[in-house]
Amino acid sequence: MDFNFEDDTEVCTCWSITLEQLKKDILENNLSSIDEITDFNDAGSLCGLCRSTEEDEDCDRVLHLSEILKVILESKNS
Q: Give the model's pLDDT for residue 29.
A: 97
Note the pLDDT of residue 2: 64
Burial class (CB within 10 angstroms; exposed 0-12, middle 13-18, buried 19+) of 50: buried
The pLDDT-based confidence of 1 (bands split at 50, 70, 90) is: low
Looking at residue 23, its pLDDT comes to 96
Q: Residue 76: its pLDDT value, please? A: 84
Q: What is the pLDDT of residues 6-49, one digit of tens each?
A: 999 999 999 999 999 999 999 999 999 999 999 999 999 999 99
Question: Does domain 10-76 fall into CATH 2.40.30.10?
Answer: no
Q: How far apart are CA 78 and CA 16, in angstroms?
A: 31
Domain residues of the chain, as ranges? Answer: 10-76
